[in-house]
Amino acid sequence: MKRLAVITAVAGLGLAGSAMAVSASAQETTAPAAIAWAKCAGDDPYLANAECAQIQVPLDYGHPNGKKISVAISRVEHTDDAHYKGVLIGNPGGPGGSGLYLSGGLASWFSGVGHDEIPADYDIIGFDPRGVGASRPALTCDPHYSDPVRPDYVPHTAADEAAWLKKSKAYAQACARRFGWLLPHLRTTDAARDIDAIRSALGQRQISYYGFSYGTYLGATYGTLFPQHVRHMILDGNVDDRGVWYDAQLEQDKAFERNIKFFFGWVAKYDSVYHLGTTEAKVERAYYAMRAKAGRQAIGGEVGPDELDDTFLNAGYSTGWYEPTADVFSAYVTKGDASAITDFYENYIFSADDNGFAMYNAVQAADAPWPHSWSRWHNDAAKLYGQGYRYNTWGNVWFNAPVAFWPFQGGPKLKIKARGMTPALLVQSTLDAATPYPGGEEMHKLLPSRLVAEIGGKTHANTLNGNACLDDKVAAYLTTGALPKDKPGNGPDATCQALPDPVPSGAAAKASARSSAGSVTPRVPARPLIGRP
């Protein structure tokens, strides 16, 4: 779906405790073995009160007695025995996103929006899907692939495009050389079967599941394979199953163009603070002038046009990133403060960890067929770019291009149809760029479900982020099973209005005015940007 603009996963988080065996069958439950829970390694604050373990699962569920790999799991236990409701397993998206932190993360976010009853009633389980993070092995292909400064995403000549093709092919070859034995077993169906292995290991007949972004597709896959094992399912920021996965990129290109223009318009509205132009068009010109300048000489020797696009991409994902992004934009353009951009990029965007990018490509390559001919990729991108979708189109191409050179053709794509599953609660923001709104209605069509639309919402996967209308519905569903009344058709069964866009604080404006040469300290959102598809 989309490149990982913000690194929120915990890198290198080792887990103590010995592994245990779980049922190899995709459909059977075995008596649970004792999980060797231990204190979580590392310093992630979301795991401070959690315990961690590894469980063994088959590499190939078609050969359950063959080679094993391990999946890292974490747990924050319930505190109210009288109202215990089982386990709630979370996934933040990706594919390739580490979800180990979600045991404490979901507990913290529910409490933060006034619903302490959820962590009180549930054992909340986080996990790193196979190949991700603390699971073993963790896929990595070329740790230096994304090092700055990379060639411009936008190919201005045939030679520029050939350079990216060479780079993409070399990456795919590195993946095949290092982990060719693992790559065919990284389908979403494999991860779903791992979730059922976790359920079995925990001794649970059913699970509740909370998936964001790609995690909605993982949840729908689980519901398709194991409909009777679902107690509750919340899917926020739903993948459009019709686009898995190539066509989904093209729809994103259109949606991110729209949303980056929303950001430019917001900056223009507060020109008295940012001084970048009084209209959306003027701010957009300021951005592309800055980008062109970075193409001639990287900002601070580190941030070229690609790195700049990646930095600003967050504003297309979430309005929570409007202020910090506008702060560094203004500091550079109006004051020449290169450190504002480079510090922001180093601290919040760049990661030397290749795992997320490797898994993103590996899962999507395995899940479904992609175009055989590069001319299809090129022509689709060139057409969109020529139609004015220029912000994200070529960046999206190169983020996915290694798949064009994968050592095997993926698929067949799973047919999503969770017949007999308890109705899921679906949430979709109408102006979500990463998973555009039609995906919510399509998932509503495929699953027994109710759909809640956040009208005017520009933030991706926006539950547990302060919109009480959404958050209260999620909590009520997990507490009592309450769902909105089912309305005919695939449209929303209930709606919530999005919260207003942020307003720059006066204190921040004054601090910016006093700052001359020093770098800006951005006010990043307290909650990590999750569900990055």
Instruction: Report how far residue 396's alpha carbon sits from residue 292's, in angstroms, rounded to the nearest whole number.
Output: 19
212 within 8 A of 461, measured Cβ to Cβ: yes
280 within 8 A of 465, measured Cβ to Cβ: no
Q: With bands split at pLDDT 50, 70 and 90, how would you rate the model's confidence at 5? A: very low
Q: With bands split at pLDDT 50, 70 and 90, how would you rate the model's confidence at 505? A: confident
Please name the amino acid found at residue 360.
Y
Burial of 66 (0-12, 13-18, 19+ CB in 10 A): exposed
CB neighbours (10 Å) of residue 500? Answer: 8
Q: Is the per-residue pLDDT at 510 higher than 50?
A: no
Instruction: Report how far residue 125's alpha carbon sits from residue 89's, in angstroms, rounded to the nearest whole number.
Output: 5
User: Furthest-apart CA pair in the chain: how many Å?
Assistant: 67
At 34 the pLDDT is: 80
Written as six digits, the tokens of 478 are 């997990």
Q: Which of 432, 444, 449, 512 is catalytic?
A: 432
At 13 the pLDDT is: 27
Q: Which of 44, 306, 460, 519 is catalytic?
A: 460
Map tokens 């899907």 to a residue: 129
Instruction: Report how far residue 103's alpha carbon sits from residue 76's, in angstroms, rounded to the nearest whole number.
Output: 6
The per-residue DSSP string of 32-71 comes to PPPP--EEBPS--GGGTT-EEEEEEEES-TTSTTS-EEEE
The mean pLDDT value of the chain amounts to 91
104 within 8 A of 48, measured Cβ to Cβ: yes
pTM, full prediction: 0.92
Q: How many Cα atoms sit within 13 Å of 155 on the Cβ side? A: 17
Whether 213 is catalytic:
yes
Instruction: Report how far residue 442's alpha carbon sits from residue 492's, in angstroms, rounded to the nearest whole number.
Output: 11
Percent of the chain residues topping a pLDDT of 90: 88
Instruction: Report how far residue 343's alpha carbon sits from residue 300's, in angstroms, rounded to the nearest whole number.
Output: 10
Nearest-CA neighbor of 237 among 108, 92, 102? 92
Q: With bands split at pLDDT 50, 70 and 90, how would you rate the model's confidence at 515? A: very low
Write out pLDDT tens, residues 357-382: 999 999 999 999 999 899 999 999 99
Whether 375 is catalytic:
no
At 212 the pLDDT is: 97
At 27 the pLDDT is: 36
Q: Which of 98, 213, 330, 449 is catalytic?
A: 213
Q: Give the strand order in the sheet containing 68-76.
A: 38-39, 51-58, 68-76, 123-128, 87-91, 207-212, 230-236, 424-429, 449-455, 494-497
Q: Could you give the angle at which helices 246-269 and 374-386 cross, rounded to 10 degrees? A: 20
Q: With bands split at pLDDT 50, 70 and 90, how would you rate the model's confidence at 268? A: very high
Map tokens 């913000």 to a residue: 6
Whether 460 is catalytic:
yes
Q: Average of pLDDT values for 252-257?
A: 98
